[in-house]
Structure 1
Amino acid sequence: MTRLPRGTGKDVVRALQKAGFFVDRTRGSHVFLKYPDGRATAVPVHML
């Protein structure tokens, strides 16, 4: 099984926005994204 490329939380947020998600809100170091049909996900954007 192939591995996913390594990336940051900001990279994941950017990719999801290209796929049609929009930033709903942020809380602490997590960004919550929604899709127009109601699907939602949270992405941790921790600073190292």
Structure 2
Amino acid sequence: MPNGSPTGLYLSPVKVREVIAELERDGWQLVRTRGSHRQFRHTSKPGTVTVAGKLGVDVPAGTLGSIWKQAGLKKT
């Protein structure tokens, strides 16, 4: 698995574009954008996941964990 995936190792920083790609692979769809904030919804999972930042920017570790938790992808 690539770095930054919920089942992979976090050995290097993860880019916003990689987080978005992982969400889309899991079935999350972009529903709206305002500035650099993108909101995703899933057809069968509850809630909305917000990913902020430019595509080439690293996602802070705490923010990354929060995104995976919101998406139901967090490691247990």
User: Structure 2-normalised TM-score?
Assistant: 0.51
Q: Out of 5, 19, 23, which is 2:26 matched to?
A: 19
Moved more, 3-12 or 16-25: 3-12
Between the aligned partners of 1:33 and 1:26, the Cα distance in structure 2 is: 9
Q: Which has the higher helix share?
A: 2
Aligned-pair identity (%): 22
Give the paired residue count.
46
Alpha-carbon RMSD: 1.9
Structure 1, unaligned stretches of length 5 or more? none
1:44 aligns with 2:52: yes
Q: Which runs of 5+ in 2 are unaligned?
A: 1-8, 58-76
The structure with the largest strand share of the pair is 1
